[in-house]
Structure 1
């Protein structure tokens, strides 16, 4: 029979069959949609606690569910509150939620309790349904009561085992509640009292609690010293809550710091060096009497905690600073001084218009502070200048002499020589700056004929107080005769002098040849 149907008719029949099937499916879906919606509405209308969350944010709940959340302890967002609430009766819920398991049934561990929790999730939505064998009809759900009892137990454990003192007073300042730490201290303050209410330990607590921390002292019976506490008082509708933390360690540290500051202050007061410490805001926070003596600044001004710029301006007004060429340069110098001190690199000599010289040093201190020291080095600079002047005079003397002169220290180091010495031995003045007696002896021996004088010169620095002057005529390698004098000087130094002499000179005059020459003495610094 099928063979008698043409292909076109077969295709037409197939299309009619597909359309008929689609029509039937549409009718079924349309008929079933209102029934599912009504079933869902009937399910939410049942007297059971149901919750719908999206990304753990509550978006809907049955009236019983909302009432249950309102009665629960406030432990955060609704999701955390619900988990804590359900975990009191269904302990496996918390572990399952933490591990990411958000599908399944969770039963009570009580074998006589047939209630259970059903958790369903799809996408980012989670539905939690509480199924109970008997519907609760009271004002507070048993789960909420259980959660509140657990919270009360936790609060009691915290208050009883806390190391801090906790107590409550009524409007007449009588203690109405106290934890173990408070009662233990009250028993130490007043042993064997054994009465209620316990002793009010902190008698000096203010009448108007404001949440501010107040340090209180307590005298304990038989204790060698006072005990200190930081007390915070918080007003309540029916009294005042008080919290006290042991402050003994803090008080001891503050006392040690105070003594340390006193010791530093006494030490600074004895220093001849002026000290000025500026905090991170660059205000003067500490100075010593030497700073007053060195700068002449009034104590009232320094005690007002002036800024570093004000201090330097006052110093400039009193001619206690090097005078800059103009005020703009002065401000730039102040900024550079502050920056260098903070970096720990500032150290300069201030040559003041009055003739004094101060060495000023800046160093960083903790917390961004900087410290300046002022040292009067006028005498030191004067001594240095005087010593330098004597050296220049001594150098001028030996430069004026017609002998080639070299002075060696007790260790054999060349300390000074004149230009004639460098010319005598064919050296440049720069080339002999770092030589010693041993090096020069080698040169002398190389450019002169053999002589016993060199052996005496070698032993001369080691001869101590027995050193004697030597004088001998040498023969240079070019045949010229030269007179050499070796003269011991103060401090173990030795002067060696050379001079070319004439062979035609009367030998009888040689002992008088240097009679008129001055003997150079050299004292090391």
Structure 2
């Protein structure tokens, strides 16, 4: 009984499990069919073989139980082995029979289910066809993605006027038929739908300005995107939605823009209170944030300004004006624009405190620029972006000699070229059209174009055309005629200079800052005995020094030149001197700095000059020695000359006094002649010795404080005999109390005596000689006048020459040393001598002698 019960429970459990499995299988298929076809599918339970087997097992267990109960009886009829075999065979036969019956029943059930499934499939296909017919409407198209990596399935179509491609691959390329902004947004929305299952609804525009509604949904693990062509009302609604989004975006952009500019911007309500301000407004009113400025209603404008704006602004006429306010403690001027409508107003304030100053400065700059260009000697023309002439200066007008009315009409650049060509003022070209197109290509060029124009009138122009970044071009016509002429003349001059340098007798060599020779002439090579190969250009000065060493290799020669030529000193001094070569040549050299850090060496052959100079020096030394001998003669022989004359004069006077005895008449006559001749000879000797002493520079003046009245009286007494002999009268004109002067009284007396003697010699007998003395400041003037024959003008300068006896009109002839001695003694005193004379009008000799500063001083005579 225990085994039988266990077999029944196991079979029931197995039966229940199979029935649950079938129920689950049936429910799964029904659910799928319901999802696919949209209606439930009839399900039936089918008995499984487990029930049959379960019944068979129970039967077996029952038979076994009965057998056990009847064991005492069976044991008597059958053996235990026979009973086991019989039971096994009976069980197998029962199982086979029951299995056959179950398979027959199961086949019938499967055929019934197959018929039901085929019926449901037919119904589902019918519904699918109907749905596809609905989807295939020309006003919508559906794109289905079954998984993340699956290919999309596209159903339906859109009207051709929308511009949507009919090809599936082209349809999914949204950028080809949708506007760029909508294509990007749609692709992002589809990506989010497929990855995050986020639904969306949006309205898009095609490139043909058609509006489509797009819906994105997820259902049953699939992503669906529906493109729907809208009817008139829905299309209009969608367009309004797009326009709303566009306006909201524009408002947001404009708010961000206004919030980022530096000019204060505000928005007010109908009551005049602030609704929104930007950051610049908040900073101007010193608020922490724009929201704080709005919340605290901080005003940037004064009450008067706000009332003025409110009173003058209307919806048709916004307020525009300049108002004054205080920002951060500084007076600021704002150019305010305030727009008003029914819901409120909005305004912006632009700081124009410095705008006017900048504007005026710009105007002045432009005027100065125009005036500068107008005063330039270089012709300038400016064309705008349309290639029309906007500016030209006077030099441009003078260059092309065009009609001013034509230029003021703002001609096109092409028209200007045609006018110049017709006037024969442009270069002659074989292909005029190609040349003109090349010239006008500057308007499309990125770089400045430069060209040379050789005009028919012989002028050469460098034409510089520069395109403007904002369009247009500036043409500059630089006249190179003079420059070309100067270059020609310069090149000619260089050749002439080269030939000149080559034919100079002076040696010339020019070195660069690197110590290399640039040029040298034949005279340089001849003086230093170097060849043209040794002194060729770019040869270093060390090589030149080596080549010139056989002629001169002392340290003060080429080594010093090399140091000066290659020196890096900021100031390069010049140098000159003399070199004597081993060959006996004497060269004067000069080191002359040139521009560009170059240096020129010049060498002049001074051999003949040096020899002549040496000869002159030898002669000068001989003359100096002779002059020394003369001075020695004057110093030592002056006493030897005067002593005999003094003795002769003394003995003559002794004989005339007849102390030693009486003389007869002839003897007395002879003694008188001896006395006169001796006195004249003494005077001549004294004059010669005085002049020799002055010339030798060994005469000294003995300055003393001399009373002029006593001096004049002494002179008058000493000259009395000479005046009586000449038969003339002396008249002395001097103011009373003339005073005194510091001078050498002996030499001053000699000056006056010589002048009076000279006047007495030439004055006619019975005439008057006047001696005038007067003070003029610190100087004294002495004038001696006579009424003699006078001196011709051409002879006045010669009367001071030594041994000049005059014209011979005097009563007595002399050696002609009187006036020469006067001039020498006056010069020793630092004075001057002048003569006023004319033939037949007498002569006046003026002597101006300064009063010496200190008495008792001695001054040597200058040579």
TM-score, scaled relative to structure 1: 0.50
Larger C-alpha radius of gyration, 1 or 2? Answer: 2
Higher relative contact order (CA 8 A, sep 6+): 1
Q: Would you tell me which structure has more helix in proportion to its own residues?
A: 2
